[in-house]
Structure 1
Amino acid sequence: MSSTIMFSPLFVRLSSSYFWYFAVIGLMAPYLAVFLDGRGFTSLEIGEILAVVTATKVFGPTLWAVLADKTGKQLSIIRLGAFLACFAFFFLFFLDGYWPLLISLALFSLFWTAILPQIEVLTLTSIRRSPKIYARIRLWGSIGFIAFAMLAGELIERYGAEVYIAIGMVILLGLFISSMQLTQRRLITVHQTSSESIFNKLYDYRFVMFFLAGLLLQISFGPLNNFFALYLRDLHYPAYAVGLMLGIGIIAEIIVFIFAGRLFQHFSLKSLLVFSLAISIVRWFLVASVGDIAWLLTVSQILHAFSFGLYHSASMQFLHRHFNHNQQNRGQAIYIGGVYGVGGAIGAYVTGLVWLDGQGGQLAFYIAAVAALIGTLFALLIPAKSTALLNR
């Protein structure tokens, strides 16, 4: 069954959507700060813009998910989000100044947030929740990230920061076109075995600890997701090092995605979540203290396999089992909005505050290590019975 799915048109369509969606992140995460720096903004202004853009993930996914749960039309929402995100990003060609850029980027992000929760639900439903198949589809997102992180770095070095906008338009058009190729399975309606509301699921102690752990982990990603290219520049690495280091991290992440299904068969979700967070503490400490030593920086990027790849796979399985079928879109959206939205905004803003045009770069990564440590403590408080082994 699994080999049939992996060579099917369904697999290709889903993989393509992940490729283009995460290609956007491959451009945005390392190079949005570079683009804004090229426009003459200070590190505090950059941090503010990145925080506002990230904050759209707080309420955006939930609004779209409520609509998806009520209508059952995840596919239409994916397509609408891709089109509107492309439209909003297009205005960057013509806008300048703090407020116009902030508004355009915030609108782009607001529409873009419509996509991922729906794709996650659509994928997990289509492949019958198989962790193995999900991991292999999701790894194409990693390939999209690495491909455009490296390509964008080379093009920006060669043609300047303004080429960032053209690259973004190419990616967003690819995302829209791929969304038009997706299909949605017609599901048979079944009676719910429980009338438990989503609020009971959200207030459940297990979910609260899981949510707080993810929130702290995402806060810890603030320096890497927003200022890593500037950090390496200040450490006098060559321009190609940004794409190279990001590529190393994503290759490691891809390997974990390939073998994630086997890990789920031998370890509980709780142990995998705790391990990923603990590894993140080590990772940020290495970047802060010995980031100027290339081979140790490379080791820290290899650890991305666990601090993101393994954690993401485990968290998606946790969410899919914690929420009922008709709560999936809202559950995904609340998690993504809260963790990636609130956590990402806090991480970006705090990093902007302490960065001081590069003088506080080391401090920012030490703060990230502390955030990951606190997140590890929350993950340890997740009851073990809520993270039972996957029987797949």
Structure 2
Amino acid sequence: MVSKQFFRLSTNYFWYFGILGLVVPFLSVFLDGRGFTSLEIGEILAVITATKIVAPSLWAQLADRTGKQLTIVKVGALLSLLCFSLIIWTVSYWPLMFSLAMFSLFWTAILPQIEVMTLNSIRRSAKIYARIRLWGSIGFIIAAMVSGELIERYSTEAFSYIGMAILAGLFISTLLSKQPRVANKALVDHVSIKAKVFNGNFLLFFFAGLMLQMSFGPYYVFFALYLKSLTYSGFLIGIFIAIGVVAEIGIFVFAAIFFKSFSLKTLLSISILFTAFRWFLVGHYAESNIALAASQLIHALSFGLYHSASIAFIQKHFNTNQQSRAQAIYIGGVYGVGGAVGAYVAGILWQDGLGAVATFDFAAITALVGGILALFLRTQFIERKATSSG
């Protein structure tokens, strides 16, 4: 692959996941600073996450029909920047929820198209994909650490301006990108996507991922507030979050070794089962720096390895001209529904910090169920699909 294209794709991931490095840890801190209750914070996060149910599918259908993923990425980046900027002036519950929901509606349209563009550019090489994707992790780390320091030094309102700067960087990077050429674009798809979606093995994969993302609800909504209540500084909170992403980078760098040594079923099930243990540690031993650091290291499995394995599963299960729709179904269903339900339940259980342990116990049990479902995946079916589609 041409080095310029590698740089362009990596830059897109850097800025896209940079905004995640701000929003995931510090959106709840920002909303808490605005005076919202834990239930209201949970509701806002649930609505934001729920936009992933609809938005990716709508944009993906357009992308699959036109093949112009880059145009969608550019429009999504611009509109997400404009909508996010509104939070500076929207302070009450409903206007703020609307601004953040519209931001998420356009922002979620970006990732599936970036994934497809990247995979088309690198001819579906898992090794090169991992190297490009790790720049997203680097962007997340830098954003989390810098944001934690700036928010603590100035105020929670710094959140708005940091987000605008990152989204501006994302929009500029999309303007410098180029649409990759796709070979055999006219290839006829003889198998409907509906049949593949309702395939038993895919449904097991889908619901295992759904339970995993539900378990992430307490982490995405309240983790930073939880650590803040335990007297961790803003910079230290950023450090702990960065530990998880550094571990994630290690997985992306050495992903090829894992894929050669283990089946997708093993990688998926182990990733989810270890996540259950991770939430148990967070809920019961977060006062310990060592236990908290250990729980964050497991992020290498619960996100990094799981994400790489799930992308590989989707590549093997669906045909080339189904990839955008498949990514949209996966993100909309697993991340959208799972994340929204997880965030909403977390808001109910949290009770302004009094239910912290119960909330992370809920996360641990949910992940455990997902891991058990993944154990029933049929590895031979996955490999047979890979052979027949290749």
Is the TM value for this pair above 0.5? yes
**Residues 268, 388 of structure 1: 8 Å contact kept:** no
1:196 match: 191
> Among 333, 348, 354, which residue is 2:349 paired with?
354
User: Within 1, Cα distance between the matches of 2:187 and 2:203?
Assistant: 24
Residue aligned with 1:81, SS? helix
1:199-221: CA deviation from partner (whole Å, max 9, x where unpaired): 00100011100000110000111
2:118 is equivalent to residue 123 of structure 1: yes
* Partner AA of 2:348 in structure 1: L
Which runs of no fewer than 5 residues in structure 2 stay unpaired? none
1:273-305: CA deviation from partner (whole Å, max 9, x where unpaired): 011011111111111111111111100001100
1:231 match: 226
* Partner AA of 1:32 in structure 2: L
User: Within 1, Cα distance between the matches of 2:158 and 2:108?
Assistant: 24
2:165 is equivalent to residue 177 of structure 1: no
Residue aligned with 2:91, SS? coil
2:324 is equivalent to residue 296 of structure 1: no
**Residues 53, 109 of structure 1: 8 Å contact kept:** yes
Residue aligned with 2:117, SS? helix
1:238 CA drift (Å):
2.3
* Partner AA of 2:111 in structure 1: L
Residue aligned with 2:172, SS? helix
User: Within 1, Cα distance between the matches of 2:162 and 2:210?
Assistant: 30
> Among 371, 375, 380, which residue is 1:380 paired with?
375
* Partner AA of 2:125 in structure 1: S
* Partner AA of 1:19 in structure 2: F
2:275 is equivalent to residue 280 of structure 1: yes
> Among 137, 140, 143, which residue is 1:142 paired with?
137
> Among 55, 62, 67, which residue is 2:62 paired with?
67
**Residues 151, 234 of structure 2: 8 Å contact kept:** no
* Partner AA of 1:105 in structure 2: L
1:239 CA drift (Å):
2.4
1:211-261: CA deviation from partner (whole Å, max 9, x where unpaired): 001100001111111111100011222222210100100000000000001
1:192 CA drift (Å):
3.9
2:78 is equivalent to residue 86 of structure 1: no
> Among 359, 369, 378, which residue is 1:364 paired with?
359
* Partner AA of 2:136 in structure 1: G
**Residues 26, 149 of structure 1: 8 Å contact kept:** yes
2:303 is equivalent to residue 308 of structure 1: yes
1:319 match: 314
Aligned-pair Cα RMSD in Å:
1.4
1:316-364: CA deviation from partner (whole Å, max 9, x where unpaired): 0111111111111000001001111111101110110010111111111
1:249 match: 244
> Among 5, 28, 33, which residue is 2:28 paired with?
33
Identity among equivalent positions (%) equals 56
User: Within 1, Cα distance between the matches of 2:185 and 2:133?
Assistant: 28
1:377 CA drift (Å):
1.3
**Residues 316, 382 of structure 2: 8 Å contact kept:** no
User: Within 1, Cα distance between the matches of 2:162 and 2:119?
Assistant: 30
1:10 CA drift (Å):
0.7
> Among 266, 269, 272, which residue is 1:271 paired with?
266
Between stretches 181-190 and 105-114, larger displacement belongs to 181-190
1:164 match: 159
1:206 match: 201
2:16 is equivalent to residue 21 of structure 1: yes
**Residues 270, 382 of structure 1: 8 Å contact kept:** yes
**Residues 269, 388 of structure 1: 8 Å contact kept:** no
* Partner AA of 1:69 in structure 2: D
**Residues 268, 387 of structure 1: 8 Å contact kept:** no
2:340 is equivalent to residue 345 of structure 1: yes
* Partner AA of 1:248 in structure 2: I
> Among 44, 48, 52, which residue is 1:53 paired with?
48
1:188 CA drift (Å):
3.3
User: Within 2, Cα distance between the matches of 1:190 and 1:86?
Assistant: 32
TM superposition score normalised by structure 1 = 0.96
* Partner AA of 1:108 in structure 2: F
Between stretches 289-298 and 192-201, larger displacement belongs to 192-201
